[in-house]
Structure formats: C-alpha cells, structure tokens
Amino acid sequence: MPAFKWDEDHGSKYRWLVFGVPGVGKTTLSKYLKGKTYLLSLDDSFHRIDFWKGKNDIWSIDPQEPITDLNKFTTTFKPEEYDNLVIDNVSNLQKLFFVERARNTKSGLDNKQSDYGEWNTYLTRFIAYVFKWNINILVTAWEAQNKITDPSGQEFMQYGPDIRYSPRDYIMGNCDVVARMVQKPQSGERGLIMQGSIDTYAKNRLDNRNGSKVEDFFEVQDK
C-alpha cells in the first residue's frame, strides 16, 4: 500500500461517477469538461477516442504492475496544474489487481481471500486521497447488476458500477453525481440517467435534473 499523504489545500470541487456498458461513450464524455483535463487511463481505451489522440496529458496504467504504477502516479501528478482529472475505468483496475495477485499463487489463476480485503482497502484509500485534491474529478466504471435488499426484505436487481461493494459504496457516497450512461438502440443517441430508481442506482445533489444529454452533463443548473 502507498504511504498516502493528505492534501490540505482542497476546496469544493465537483465529483462525478459515471457507469455504463463498454463502448457506450464514457471516455468520450470527458471532452465536455471545461478547462484543462488530465486522463488517468486504467484500461488504455483512449487510443480509440479521437478527442484524446495526440494529447500528452495522459497516464496509461501499466497492466503488468498496476498498483506500483498507480502509486507512482499519485506521487508525480500535479493537480494544481489542471482543472479536471478523469479516472477512467476503475472496473478494469479491479480486474488488473486480481490478475496481478493471482500470479503469486501456485496455479497462477486463483486469488486468496486476503486479496479481496486488500483491494477494498486500497481502492478506498486511493479515492479518499485523490478526492482531497482541489480539482474536478470524473470517475468511470463498467456497469453491473447487483442484488439489493430493501428495508422490507424484498430483493431486486439494480444497475450500478461494476466495483466490489465496499469501495463502490464509498465512491458513490462521496460523489456529487452518480449517473448511468445509456444509448438508445434506434437512434444511437446517448444520455445519462441521474435519478435513482428500483432498477438503477443514480443520484444528483448538484441540481434538479433527472437526466442529461452527454453534451450538457457537466453544466450544473440553478436549483
């Protein structure tokens, strides 16, 4: 684990979490951020995005040593030089973490029970650390259907970020907006669901919007 140091110089910047199926446009969404943006790519998908081609403000994680490389990022990145940071695809970082840990087992395929607790702790500490920076942060993840139990004991499946539940709940709780990105199959139009329902986890504590077009997502409205 890295020896994270807390950044005392932080203000009230926006925190967004957007999840959706692969290819729906989560990385492309970052082009609508205002100001200077840095991309922390955890899945290398930026190579297929026109907006990011030829740009230098990118850290592409080493898939062979993801945690060592991510620790290096936290010690070298200068948040004061940027308006926005995009942490692109925490779900893929999760997969890389467990693949790396499995290499140390006899079969090279299995994970130890302790790996799961280590991941929960690591991701929570990483998010807590970077969320202290005085910079807007967009976090993206794949989507998954998770079993939810309501107060009456009824169980149902709900769309949410594809992240293990403990760090997932920490991230969702500390973001101003959690939105599911979707695409209409007929028109191809993309949008974001910003209001929670029984089948989708979402929230918006910045304004009164229930949803948004992609190009308007970062435009906070007056309440």
Contact (CB, 8 A) for 65 and 103: no
Residues 188 and 211: their CA atoms lie apart, in Å, by 17
Q: At what angle do helices 66-76 and 90-102 cross, to 10 degrees?
A: 130
Q: How many residues does the chain have?
A: 223
Q: pLDDT > 70: what percent of the chain?
A: 91
Task: Dump pLDDT digits (tens) for 90-115.
Answer: 999 999 999 988 877 666 667 677 88
Contact 81, 36 (CB under 8 A): yes
State the CATH architecture for 15-216: 3-Layer(aba) Sandwich (3.40)
CA distance 137 to 12: 11
Cα of 67 vs its chain's centroid, Å = 16
Residue 204 has pLDDT above 50, yes or no: yes
* Residue 154: band (very low, low, confident or very high) from pLDDT cuts 50, 70, 90: confident
Chain Cα centroid distance, residue 93: 10
Note the pTM of the prediction, 2 decimals: 0.90
pLDDT tens for residues 4-47? 443 334 346 999 999 999 999 999 999 999 999 999 999 999 99
Q: What is the per-residue pLDDT across 124-146, written as a single tens digit (0 to 9) for each? A: 999 999 999 999 999 999 999 98
pLDDT recorded at residue 110: 73
